Structure 1
Amino acid sequence: MTPTFDWDAYYEAMSGRPPRKNLIVALEHWGDRVPGRAIDLGAGDGLESRELASRGWRVTAIDGDAGLPDRLQGVEGVTAWRENFAQIAELPASDLVFSGFALPFCPHEHFDALWGAIRTCLRPGGLLAVEFFGVRDKWAGTPGMTFHTRNDVERMLWGLETLLLDEDEREGRSVDGPKHWHVFHVIARCPAE
């Protein structure tokens, strides 16, 4: 079954949620170092961008949704950048790249270029906190999306220090009803120079 996404309905349904756990754990790994520049890739409702800004990070929030600039208007320390994943060739140098459940929505034919831009923009000592959908996810095979095996994920993390690689497979719910989830939660650090 091909999922259909009404992102406004999704944001409304998720209203009041806390920041994604993967981001909070990544910030714990950052520790007491001075906050730097962060990217919120697939910023959606802007919740994680706001959380980062409230902690002193300078955030570039990126999403293809036309409503993103309005959702983040007036949030100090956040710049909204409207861009579809397929169009991203380069990202600003960053100390933290966060993407919560968004990377799977990059079309397969553009994923390697996007991943290359992510890896290239990460500064030495910087953190990566992302999720990938696995090949046993209910939506696997959906056109316009990308799914990975554990070997794929391990290969993509080559050269980084893996702080978390949690493969989560379970029955649950999505905004459109029951769903079998197969997700890789990842936190990794770029080696210091």
Structure 2
Amino acid sequence: MDWTGYYDAQAGRAVRSVVLQALARRADAPPGVAIDIGCGEGTETRHLLANGWRVVAIDADPASAARVRAGLTPEQLARLDFRRARFEEIGEFPAADLVYSTFALPFCAPAAFPALWSDIRASLKPGAWFAGELFGPHDSWSGRADMNFHDRAEVQALLAGLTVHRLDEDDRTGQSAFGPRHWHVFHIIANNPA
């Protein structure tokens, strides 16, 4: 896929709703540590840095680091830990108050996904939040060997032990930066019980 073209098309977009909703649910808590898995052009990372968070931003695209850092103040840059890595190369995550991955987790190879998900779950501090998306089996890209897909029961099993605040299933034909496609997406907001 042409990720550079995708990130160019995403420039200037709004912060994803699952991230904003997760932040609203913890509005009384101070900023903490967030992990942005598949940070892309950095919209969510920059939003959190502007609001006092420390962010570990991870993406494999060679141009992502420059995109994420663009326009940040020296103080914000000091709170950013950018890691260029593929999903299977990330390793352990630090303890986090928020882990999010907006439309990136499906691009993890199926063989690597269980370890990645285990590391995400292990990084969630008591009371921490997860926000992101997973793709379902009706998605246009379903069947690709380099991506992972989950039906509703599998998504619920992945979330076992977390308090689920949003699990919306979007199964419709629409548009993407790559053109027309059928979306089958699970939008997730959940937190680790304190």
TM category (shorter chain) comes to over 0.9
Match of 2:161 in 1: 159
For 2:28, give the aligned amino acid: D
Evaluate the alpha carbon distance shift between residue 86 and residue 178 of structure 1 in structure 2; reply closer, same or farther with a 3 A threshold.
same
Of 180, 183, 190, 2:182 maps to 180
TM-superposed CA distance for 1:92, in Å, is 0.8
For 2:151, give the aligned amino acid: T
Cα distance in 1 for residues equivalent to 2:164 and 2:173? 26
For 1:79, give the aligned amino acid: D
TM-superposed CA distance for 1:174, in Å, is 1.3
User: Does the 8 Å CA contact 1:88/1:117 hold for their aligned counterparts?
Assistant: no
For 1:30, give the aligned amino acid: R
For 1:42, give the aligned amino acid: G
User: Does the 8 Å CA contact 2:43/2:68 hold for their aligned counterparts?
Assistant: no
User: Does the 8 Å CA contact 2:166/2:188 hold for their aligned counterparts?
Assistant: yes
Of 71, 85, 88, 2:87 maps to 85
Cα distance in 2 for residues equivalent to 1:162 and 1:140? 25
Match of 1:71 in 2: 67
User: Does the 8 Å CA contact 1:50/1:78 hold for their aligned counterparts?
Assistant: no
Match of 2:23 in 1: 27
Of 128, 131, 134, 2:133 maps to 131
SS in 2 for 1:158: coil
1:51 equivalent in alignment to 2:47: yes
SS in 2 for 1:33: coil
Greater Cα shift, 158-167 or 87-96: 87-96
Greater Cα shift, 182-191 or 65-74: 65-74
Of 1, 12, 20, 1:16 maps to 12
User: Does the 8 Å CA contact 1:72/1:78 hold for their aligned counterparts?
Assistant: no
User: Does the 8 Å CA contact 1:36/1:94 hold for their aligned counterparts?
Assistant: yes
Cα displacement string for residues 81-128 of structure 1 (whole angstroms, at most 9, x for unaligned residues)? 111001223111100001000000000000000000000001000000
Match of 1:60 in 2: 56
CA RMSD of aligned residues (A): 1.0
Q: Percent identity?
A: 48
Aligned residue pairs, count:
188
Point out where structure 1 has 5 or more consecutive residues left out of the alignment.
none
Structure 2-normalised TM-score?
A: 0.94
Structure 1-normalised TM-score?
A: 0.94
For 1:190, give the aligned amino acid: N
